Amino acid sequence: MALKGSQVAEHADAESCWGKAYDVTEFLPDHPGGQGVILKYAGRDATRAFDPVHPPDTLGKYLDASKHLGPVDMATVAAEAGEDDPDEAERRERLARRPLLSQCYNLFDFEAVARRVMKRAAWAYYSSAADDEMTMRENHGALHRVWFRPRVLVDVEKVDFSTTMLGAKCSAPFYVTATALGKLGHPEGEVVLTRAARSHDVIQMIPTLASCSFDDIVDARRGGQVQWLQLYVNKDRDVTRRIVRHAEARGCRGLFITVDAPQLGRREKDMRSKFTDGGSHVQAGQDTDTSQGAARAISSFIDPSLSWADVPWFRSITAMPIVLKGVQRVEDVLRAVDAGVQGVVLSNHGGRQLDFARSGIEVLAETMPVLRERGLDRGFDVFVDGGFRRASDILKALCLGATGVGIGRPFLYAMSAYGQDGVERAMQLLKDEMEMNMRLIGCASVGDLHPGLVDARGLFVHSNPTPVDALSSTVYDPLVVPPQRPK
């Protein structure tokens, strides 16, 4: 039952527990995600479906003010679409019966729980990666090719793994890296990560495409808590300048410019889950392209013409340290040094962009000897992310010369499954592992870690690149030898 403008107007003095009504009739054909998904929610409360996948200013920006009909009494609105859905009822049952938080002992446990309790489309969005997902798997697999060469008989009674990143002190050598659309996993979104990061004195990188507004995420900060901004560069440089200056004015202590996403990768799990979304059949037979999904639609502002020539401009508009996020070869690290930025993140975007991009840990092992040889390794921060799940993984990167390690999906999974408590436990588990492993390696502080403590020779050998479950093997029709002729 659609809400009438006149009905809404009667309640113009309503307060906070009231929702808002919009007339999107004329906008329907222009919706980048297709009409079907809007029609599915017509006359119902669409807040929970809308919020996670639309930046907070979307309605203000794309829907004329005359279509903002005003507040509406939620008690008179039909239930959310999906509440009568048996799959959803089963999911809620699984959520209610999920393991106790105390039964999660490592970051993989959160992933396993999240997979069972998250909404299907949200899980598909977070977990998916580009093409055959080779790089996503390689990210973690590569860490299995680095082994320790521990020292013994070192006094490790006291272990200190606090460190400094871009000049800011933090309690551990990992940070919460930027990931988009936090409300897909938790109704409160990224501020949950902010609160957990605060209680652990861990740095948080705020994503451009957060579900919460930038100011909400900054407002959730307390005391001297450190935040950085991850930036997708807008084609409209005035918009970009405004975002950067605002972040600086609000106290962000680093600007991480994403350089690995001139176009968003194709993540097929994500695309398929959108395609089978209940609303999509409304468009059956029409030529509307829903396969792009929300992520591609909301990323259309990203400037694919961004180049090295733009770096001086960024340096001119901000005093924040600038870090290029998504660098994938030593030649480009050297270029970044020349360009006068303060660091790089060796990253392939969690395997979500170029499939067969090498792991960050491999690029790190390629990079650091060159930087050291040229005396460029001091005062230039080299971060790495992708596939890190254990403190031992993080320690391997630190031994090879990384300043810090970004953790993305695992904190999203912990948040999706258990909220703030989950993220805090995930951070604590990493710290517990860190303390133990530092002792066992024979290092009392981060400054004691060095390349001699690892054997990384296997890192560059991609000897078994095809997983047994690869699509190519699933669809492969084996060759056959000629059969015997019948009698």
Q: Could you tell me the CA-to-CA distances from 250 to 109, 182, 221, 254 in Å, in that order?
A: 36, 21, 11, 12
Q: Which segment (73-81, 195-203, 292-300, 437-445) binds ligand 173 by CB under 6 A?
A: 292-300
Measured from the Cβ of residue 18, the count of other Cβ atoms closer than 10 Å reads 17
Provide the H-helix boundaries in 82-119: 86-96, 107-117
Q: Is 68 in the active site?
A: no
Which C-beta is closer to ligand 173: that of 180 or that of 446?
A: 180
Binding mask 313-352 for ligand 173 (x = CB under 6 A): ------------------------------------x--x
First to last CA, the chain: 73
Distance CA 464, CA 144 (A): 13
- Binding to ligand 173 (CB under 6 A) within 20-59 occurs at none
CB of residue 334 to ligand 173, shortest distance in Å:
26
CB of residue 168 to ligand 173, shortest distance in Å:
24
Which C-beta is closer to ligand 173: that of 124 or that of 264?
A: 264
Distance CA 406, CA 450 (A): 19
Applying CB under 6 A, does 264 fall inside the site for ligand 173? yes
Which C-beta is closer to ligand 173: that of 53 or that of 417?
A: 53
Total binding residues toward ligand 173, as defined by CB under 6 A: 8
Applying CB under 6 A, does 395 fall inside the site for ligand 173? no
Inter-helix orientation angle 86-96/107-117, to 10°: 150
Q: Which segment (30-38, 65-73, 77-85, 293-301) binds ligand 173 by CB under 6 A?
A: 293-301
Which C-beta is closer to ligand 173: that of 386 or that of 401?
A: 386
Which C-beta is closer to ligand 173: that of 298 or that of 391?
A: 298
For residue 135, what are its two tokens? 């790089």
Applying CB under 6 A, does 292 fall inside the site for ligand 173? no
Binding mask 87-126 for ligand 173 (x = CB under 6 A): ----------------------------------------
- Binding to ligand 173 (CB under 6 A) within 299-318 occurs at 299
Of 232, 381, 393, 418, which residue is the catalytic one?
232
Measured from the Cβ of residue 131, the count of other Cβ atoms closer than 10 Å reads 18
Applying CB under 6 A, does 180 fall inside the site for ligand 173? yes
CA triplet 322, 325, 327: central angle to 5 degrees?
Answer: 115
Applying CB under 6 A, does 443 fall inside the site for ligand 173? no
Provide the H-helix boundaries in 11-57: 36-40, 47-50
Applying CB under 6 A, does 140 fall inside the site for ligand 173? no
Q: Which segment (132-140, 246-254, 273-281, 291-299) binds ligand 173 by CB under 6 A?
A: 291-299
CB of residue 130 to ligand 173, shortest distance in Å:
9
Q: Do 173 and 384 meet the contact criterion of CB atoms below 8 Å apart?
A: no
| Residue length of the chain | 487
Binds ligand 173 (CB under 6 A): choice among 49, 101, 124, 209: 209
Applying CB under 6 A, does 298 fall inside the site for ligand 173? yes
For residue 164, what are its two tokens? 């400094």
SS3 assignment, position 258:
strand
Which of 75, 70, 85 is closest to 40 using CA atoms?
Answer: 85
Q: Is 41 in the active site?
A: no
CB of residue 180 to ligand 173, shortest distance in Å:
3
β-bridge mates for residue 19, sequence order:
72
Measured from the Cβ of residue 89, the count of other Cβ atoms closer than 10 Å reads 11
Which of 374, 369, 386 is closest to 456 using CA atoms?
Answer: 369
Of 140, 186, 200, 260, which residue is the catalytic one?
260
CB of residue 57 to ligand 173, shortest distance in Å:
15
Full 3-state SS string of 301-365: CECCCCCHHHHHHHHHHCCCCEEEEEECCHHHHHHHHHCCCCEEEECCCCCCCCCCCCCHHHHHH
Of 140, 186, 200, 349, which residue is the catalytic one?
349
Q: Is 349 in the active site?
A: yes
- DSSP 8-state assignment for residue 466: S
Which C-beta is closer to ligand 173: that of 274 or that of 349?
A: 349
CB of residue 295 to ligand 173, shortest distance in Å:
4
Which C-beta is closer to ligand 173: that of 349 or that of 358?
A: 349
Residue type for position 104:
C
Distance CA 19, CA 246 (A): 29
Q: Which residues have C-beta within 8 Å of that of residue 74, sequence separation ≥ 6?
A: 17, 18, 19, 45
Binds ligand 173 (CB under 6 A): choice among 192, 295, 322, 384: 295
Catalytic residues: 232, 260, 349
- The footprint of ligand 173 (CB under 6 A) covers 180, 209, 264, 295, 298-299, 349, 352
